[in-house]
Structure 1
Amino acid sequence: MKLKGKFVAFVVLLLLLLLAACSSETASNDDSEENGTEEPSNDGKDADPFGAYEEAITISIGQEVDPTDTSLTDGDTPLDNKYTRHVKEMLNIDVEHAFTASPSNYDQKVSLAIASNDIPDAMVVGPIELRQMVEADQLADLTGVFENYASPAIKEIIESTGGVALDSVTFDGKIMAIPNAQASADGVHNLWIRKDWLDKLGLEPPKTVEELQEVARAFVEEDPDGNGEDDTIGIAGPDASNKLYANFLESSNNLYGFDGIFSALHSYPGYWLEDDGEPVYGSILPETKEALGTLRDMYAEGLIDREMGVREDSAESVISGKTGIFSGPFWMPYGPITDAIRQNPDANWQSYAAPLDANGDYTPHLMTPTNSYVVVRKGYEHPEAAMKILNNLVAHESEHDAMEGGGGPGYYPIRLVYAPADEMEVTTVALREVLDGTKQPEDFYDMPSYKLIHTDVDTIFDAKLEPYDNMNIEYWNIDSNHFTRAYSALVGTAPLVDSEIKGVKSLIYYQTDTMESRWVNLKKLEDETFLKIITGAAPLDTFDQFVEDWKQQGGDQITEEVAESVN
């Protein structure tokens, strides 16, 4: 009887413990709901990509702030502006700054945060920093967050990269960051040319490198601005803040470089290429030596800006009307062109898919569709908050310009660029169809991943004047608030729509292990050597010594690692 009584007591005690555990779990869940805490749902049933928190939460971020940016409205600050107020209104999230840094110092601040293991709740990083933080186990696993909280528009945009974006943030099967996705047009660097100068001198737009040289020579020697002085620049060169060419780590949005000239000569410096099934670095190939020789001759003849590499800002020479040709992506009206046109309404800047190669093909290098990421600190209570902030950005981006208050889009917290790979090409075709009357603006309203197209088609007649098929500058309303965007689409992107592009991709767009310790010095060696060769400060055969030094100082080992990575 005593043994039976002990057994019954044990069973009763076990039942009480089970009941207590269930009650504790229920109370914990209730407390979580009362505190407004949303844990990422594995099954996605309760996840709301746009849902506001019942109780305000705080997210501490690292943010890039340009001290020279004067676009904020009086009274607004980098932490209190139309973007942060919108995040608060829509999501009930308070944004705080763990740190801010200028564009030139932001990467350093991120590196210090990583090294000290004192990282904010969320911040934007590049591919190098992402890998460092994954290896240091500093990041939250965002697999469930992305699956359950990413908005349909963001998922569609990321899917447009063909798996590249998600692959870049997936480690051991886990999504460790939220990737951006960019329009492929950002990576193609067209030639922008003063067509009014071409017309004045009776010239046609150049197609080949040789024709480009002829046009540049005329722009330098034949006084296209008509002021009677020898003060015009044929081709702009990179200033102190830009590069001779884009590279595999920075594959888009290079300004005033020589990307097109290299590509037309089948040289792809800075890119990893395939040769007989093995990876090779484009900067050490014979084609690059040939291209450097061509640029060296052009510089010696005065066809390229004599102040390239040391000029503080090449945009100044474009805006002031002294430069006739430069290289850049479709969005250059957001750069110097709109200012140049408003200063001189006759400055008829047009964009061309040129120069072509010896076969008449347009063979530019292509960018990676993703190059920046939002990471979330491991242990942060609301990892889904970062995803919601990005959802809010994409859902309301076209409305932000109309919101009260100033400030450029860089003031949006943890902002990433989101655009379908073909965003600009689709936009250009849509605008053409609306202008020629074959479609109406409302035909393009239901395209949420093309987040600006609704506004684009609604406002095109405010910016473009008749005849609608003539893109010369006299047929534009340059005072329209929509001019810059429309000109970027109908002039800047037109060459990408109207030309067959035989683009070249890099085998990789990320660093290998040895690159993390050697690449800074190798890149410095490359940049300094090539600049000296082009400007005549070193003989062309210096290239051969550069190749030997590059291989000995880690290049051969890095090449082996690239081979392992891609095979």
Structure 2
Amino acid sequence: MSKTNAKNESSREKSVAEEGPFGKYNPPIDVSFVRAVDDDMSTNILPKTPGETVENNRWLDSYSENLGINVTYDWTVKGGYADDTYKQKMNLTLSSGDLPDVIKVDATTLKQLAQSGEIEDLTEVWNEYASDFAKETYAGEGDSVLNSAKVDGKLMAIPEMDSSLESAQYIWIRKDWLDKLGLDAPTTMQELLKISEAFTTGDPDGNGEDDTYGLALTKDFYSGWGGSEGFFAGYHAYPNIWVEKDGKLQYGSVQPEVKTALSALADMYKKGEIDKEFGIKEGSIVAEMVASGKVGIDFGEQWNPMYPLISNYNNDENANWISYPLVSIDDEQAKVPLKFRTQLYYAVRKGFDYPEVPVKMANQFLETNWGEDSEFGYYYMPQEIDNVGVWKFSPVTPHQATKNLDVFNAIEEARKNGTQSELEGEAKVVNDNVEGFLAGDKVQWGWEKIYGIEGAFKKMQGYQENGLLLYDSFVGAPTETMVEKRATLEKMEKEVFIKIIMGEAPIDDFDKFVEDYYKLGGENITKEVNDWKDSL
């Protein structure tokens, strides 16, 4: 008898669970998982939680006590779920046929398992067992999160929901440089271009040397900091995501608006507003330029004050980085492109008697951290142990799409009402950090830049209220041609775009890139993406 069959046999004495999304199993059931143990867990969380281990901790106790679910691990590996170590161990597990009861996989592996008939269809399980709060949470990005786990129209896993809102970019600008040069904050792309030029030629650091740049860019090109997506958006160009156009899904990087934005970046590069070597520089090297006060504009996500901008502040307390909303080249407002962030999924091996387990665990994880009776301060980020993320002890960790924005909204409301002392959970933790900076704790600088009165999430409010959020339209598993060709196509895209910006290729090479993209697999990919859309 194979191990998989043995698992099936061992579960024949079925436990009976109470009804509902939080129904407890009696007698308790053992449920096997596998997991990665990242550096944060090894070097930060475990040292600050003596007596707890990956296999024995507050979250596993909670699942046992409240749901009658005893979590076990068939194996653990050091590193993250995207690391080769986890993927290699996972491949060995898949080839052996000895799957754990619940298996955490990426979209490609999920599709393979579904098509080979090795995992359960969870469509009805979700409908029956998901709590109202879980359903509300998973609908935070419309249908996209659940759709990402569908294969041939069936829900084949529970997504480990992550927030696409967090991929929104802002224009981070050194306000102290604006003030020194007598410039106002930008409201149009034309004004931003003038600011970039002034930051390059106007000696904003006052050292009498020509050694500053307007815009930070890295060789990664599409990046959470020093990225380009927010700049492209100012020209109504949305590379690196799929957009709906004329009723069909189209790849944003091959749309004509991209050519216009590339031309503008090439002009900035020619004027010396972008580092001449950006095309070969890692983000860490460009971060050193930021730290030393040589760059004044950064298109990046809300967390940029935590890295790398705080390094500039640590070296120069006058460095006042402020977030501004994306600007447009014309009267049409710039949309804010959002890359789909949910990347991992909880699948259930075929034949497991309790396929609803990951749904119930997701229910409890969400309710415990953000529900009406939240115990955030014990189960998510306890303040008494430096706010370490003990939530990682849980093998199931979906997050709300609007979690951080909700925190900002709660803090803002408390500021208006004078009720900050009544804040609870994550809002209290974050507000304490913001207030700490205002009281003189310079370590908390980043928190104020993100959650302060005019922090990044104040701009996110505006994005949302004005209907400017543009979600990635393709959220499915990589298509057959994507698996074969995407790496080559993405490499070609970055190489061509960077060469155009650096003046090593003419702007009309963009048109050749579009032709080559479709010839080398893009045409098939576009068809497959639209077939996926039609299957929903």
State the TM-score, normalized to the length of structure 1.
0.76
> Do structure 1's residue 522 and structure 2's residue 492 form an aligned pair?
no
Pick which of 260-269 and 497-506 moved more. Answer: 497-506
After TM superposition, list the pairs within 5 Å mapping 1:63-74 onto structure 2.
Answer: 63=36, 65-66=38-39, 70-74=43-47
Partner of 1:16: none
Q: Distance in 1 between matches of 2:26 and 2:296?
A: 54
Q: Which of residues 226, 236, 245 in structure 1 aligns to 2:222?
A: 245
Q: Which of residues 502, 506, 526 in structure 2 aligns to 1:559?
A: 526
Q: Which of residues 221, 227, 232 in structure 2 aligns to 1:257?
A: 227
Q: Which amino acid aligns with 1:363?
A: K
* Count of matched residue positions in the alignment of Structure 1 and Structure 2: 501
Q: Which of residues 278, 287, 296 in structure 1 aligns to 2:257?
A: 287
Partner of 1:11: none
> Do structure 1's residue 154 and structure 2's residue 165 form an aligned pair?
no
Q: Which amino acid aligns with 1:504?
A: L
Q: Which of residues 346, 360, 363 in structure 1 aligns to 2:335?
A: 363
Q: Which amino acid aligns with 2:196?
A: A
What's the CA shift for 1:346? 2.7
Q: Is the 8 A contact 2:22 2:363 kept in 1?
A: yes
Partner of 1:508: 474
Q: Distance in 2 between matches of 1:426 and 1:345?
A: 30
Partner of 2:169: 189
Q: Which of residues 114, 127, 131 in structure 2 aligns to 1:134?
A: 114
Q: Is the 8 A contact 1:192 1:328 kept in 2?
A: yes
What's the CA shift for 1:262? 0.8
Q: Which amino acid aligns with 2:346?
A: V
After TM superposition, list the pairs within 5 Å mapping 1:357-506 onto structure 2.
Answer: 357-359=329-331, 361-368=333-340, 370-380=342-352, 383-397=355-369, 398-399=376-377, 400-402=380-382, 408=389, 411-420=392-401, 422-437=402-417, 442=422, 454-457=425-428, 460=431, 463-464=434-435, 475=438, 477-479=440-442, 484-485=446-447, 487-490=449-452, 491-498=455-462, 500-506=466-472
Q: Decide whether aligned partners of structure 1 residues 556 and 90 sit closer, same or farther in structure 2, where only a CA change above 3 A counts.
A: same
Q: Is the 8 A contact 1:161 1:369 kept in 2?
A: no
SS at match of 2:505: coil
Partner of 2:510: 543
Q: Which amino acid aligns with 1:464?
A: E
Structure 1 residues not aligned, in runs of 5+: 1-30, 247-253, 446-453, 466-472
Q: Percent identity?
A: 30
Q: Distance in 2 between matches of 1:136 and 1:160?
A: 31
Partner of 1:470: none
What's the CA shift for 1:106? 5.8
Q: Decide whether aligned partners of structure 1 residues 173 and 362 sit closer, same or farther in structure 2, where only a CA change above 3 A counts.
A: closer
Q: Is the 8 A contact 1:176 1:375 kept in 2?
A: yes
Q: Distance in 1 between matches of 2:40 and 2:505?
A: 38
Q: Is the 8 A contact 2:190 2:329 kept in 1?
A: no
Structure 2 residues not aligned, in runs of 5+: 1-9, 65-69, 370-375
What's the CA shift for 1:98? 4.3
SS at match of 2:44: coil
Q: Distance in 2 between matches of 1:127 and 1:530?
A: 28
SS at match of 1:124: strand
Q: Decide whether aligned partners of structure 1 residues 53 and 333 sit closer, same or farther in structure 2, where only a CA change above 3 A counts.
A: farther
Partner of 2:287: 315
Q: Decide whether aligned partners of structure 1 residues 377 and 318 sit closer, same or farther in structure 2, where only a CA change above 3 A counts.
A: farther
Deviations 1:156-209 (A, max 9, x none): 211333333223324466432112444453132111111112112221122333
Q: Distance in 1 between matches of 2:96 and 2:209?
A: 57
Q: Which amino acid aligns with 1:362?
A: A
Q: Which amino acid aligns with 1:550?
A: Y
After TM superposition, list the pairs within 5 Å mapping 1:323-334 onto structure 2.
Answer: 323-334=295-306
Partner of 2:318: 346
SS at match of 2:113: helix
Q: Is the 8 A contact 1:364 1:503 kept in 2?
A: yes
Deviations 1:205-245 (A, max 9, x none): 22333322222222233333344544433211135xxx423
Q: Is the 8 A contact 2:46 2:52 kept in 1?
A: no
Q: Is the 8 A contact 1:187 1:367 kept in 2?
A: yes
Q: Distance in 1 between matches of 2:357 and 2:42?
A: 28
Q: Distance in 1 between matches of 2:525 and 2:462?
A: 39
> Do structure 1's residue 202 and structure 2's residue 182 form an aligned pair?
yes
Output the aligned Cα RMSD: 3.7
Q: Which of residues 303, 306, 310 in structure 1 aligns to 2:276?
A: 306
SS at match of 2:400: coil
Deviations 1:444-487 (A, max 9, x none): 76xxxxxxxx441576366238xxxxxxx8x5644476x64554
Q: Which amino acid aligns with 2:33?
A: S
